[in-house]
């Protein structure tokens, strides 16, 4: 039987840290943007608008939750940004039908 504190701690099920949510949002938005706007011969201008909007969102989210970011969280964020860039290059270099 689980102790009662387990259920009280996650009363509203919104205990996911903002840093993890930021990484999830980055991956989802970039995956959709690359698939829709950047897979043909030229990259659409709206893709760059999405990237700029995502950069602003990242800046203000990190600024708002600055006290939550420690060394491990910053390393995880940097690895996620590097992997997003790697996935972008991987999708662009693959043969595709346009």
Checking if the pLDDT of 39 tops 90, the result is: no
Task: Indicate if the alpha-carbon torsion angle 12, 26, 45, 92 is positive or negative.
Answer: negative
Long-range contacts of 74-81 (CB under 8 A, 24+ apart): 76/19, 76/23, 77/19, 77/22, 77/23, 80/23, 80/26, 80/27, 81/26
pLDDT in tens, 42-81: 888 899 999 999 999 999 999 998 888 899 999 999 999 9
Single out the residue of 33, 29, 35 nearest to residue 98, CA to CA: 35
Q: Which residue has the higher pLDDT, 23 or 17?
A: 23
**Model's pTM, two decimal places?**
0.78
**Mean pLDDT in residue range 20-47:** 88
How does residue 84 score in pLDDT terms, banded at 50, 70 and 90? very high
């Amino acid at each position: 039987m689980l102790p009662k504190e387990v259920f009280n701690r996650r009363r509203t099920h919104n205990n996911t840290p903002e840093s993890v949510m930021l990484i999830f949002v980055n991956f989802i938005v970039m995956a959709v943007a690359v698939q829709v706007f950047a897979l043909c011969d030229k990259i659409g201008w709206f893709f760059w608008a999405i990237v700029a909007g995502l950069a602003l969102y990242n800046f203000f989210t990190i600024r708002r939750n600055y006290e939550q970011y420690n060394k491990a969280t910053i390393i995880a964020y940097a690895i996620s940004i590097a992997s997003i860039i790697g996935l972008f290059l991987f999708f662009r270099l693959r043969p595709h039908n346009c």
